[in-house]
Amino acid sequence: MREHKLSFFDERTAPIDAIIIHSSAFAADKAIKTYEQAEVSAHYIIDLNGQIIRLVDEDKRAWHAGKSFWQGRTGLNNNSVGIEVCNLSLGQKAYDKRQIFALLRLCKHLMKKYHINKENVLGHSDIAPSRKADPGACFPWQYLAQHGIGVWYDLRDCQQVKETDEKKLLSAIGYDITDLTAAKWAFCRHYMPQIVPVDEDVRHLIEHPYPADFSFNSDDYLQILQAVAYKMKKI
Ligand SMILES: [Zn+2]
């Protein structure tokens, strides 16, 4: 595996139990230059051709998540491995198959090594919905879940869930609902990508990860919320 060591990390104070997936809007060499300028990092970056580059040793705390929240926990750099996957549209257009195969192998290896539950493989937008849109609506969560990485839903499970309050369901899944619109966007990018519009201006998307006026137009939204909450074993 290629290495390009970054010096932006510190010591973990919690064991690894999660994987956070990001996308970078550049090819790896340029992305690494931007990390060096911004003094941030991740543990791995997967280039456009599927090549994996190690940036920070797994036992160190890399600086990729920023202000983050999931299921009551904050500061997810501390307990996670951060993986960047290069995608010039920030995940709004398909990833290369070679990248996804490389990511699949890497995640399987990490999940086995650190006993990471599949529920704890998350996207940056899941844990920082008001600030981040990556890894984007074209990230293949459903495909990865079929291989035991992350969770997907079975719509029939909604019958098992009595809760119908949108906020309570999003919160039960793990989202920070301080900004409800942002949390809804993050949920849809992950579980209902077909209804998320593409922002052709990637720079705009980076600065404005979600429009304030998003109106949901799907009869399935509540049922999918319920089914995901059920799969997350949180309701
Ligand atoms: Zn990110």
Q: Predicted confidence band at 235 (pLDDT cuts at 50, 70, 90)?
A: low
Q: Which structural domain, as residue segments, surrounds residue 93? A: 2-231
What is the pLDDT at residue 176?
A: 98
d(CA 128, CA 134) in angstroms, rounded, equals 10
Q: What is the CATH number of the domain that holds 32?
A: 3.40.80.10
| Amino acid 180: pLDDT | 94
Query: CB-based contacts of 31: which residues, under 8 Å, 6+ apart?
Result: 24, 25, 45, 84, 86
Per-residue pLDDT tens for 62-89? Answer: 999 999 999 999 999 999 999 999 999 9
Q: Which of 3, 36, 58, 84 is catalytic?
A: 84
Average the pLDDT over each of 12-16, 121-125, 149-153, 196-200 and give the range with the smallest value.
196-200
In this prediction, residues 133-137 reach a mean pLDDT of: 96
Asked if residue 156 has pLDDT above 70, the reply is yes
Buried b (16+ CB within 10 A) or exposed e, 90-99: bbbeebbeeb
| Beta bridge partners of residue 22, listed in sequence order | 84
Looking at residue 181, its pLDDT comes to 93
State how many domains the chain has.
1
Question: What's the pLDDT score for residue 233?
Answer: 79
Instruction: Tell me the mean pLDDT in the region 209-217.
Output: 77
Give dist(CA 60, CA 84) in Å, integer: 16
The rounded Å distance from CA 230 to ligand 1 centre is 27
CB under 5 Å of ion ligand 1: residues = 22, 124, 134
Give tens-digit pLDDT for 40-64.
999 999 999 999 999 999 999 999 9
Q: Which two tokens stand for residue 152?
A: 């997907």
CB 45 within 8 A of CB 55: yes
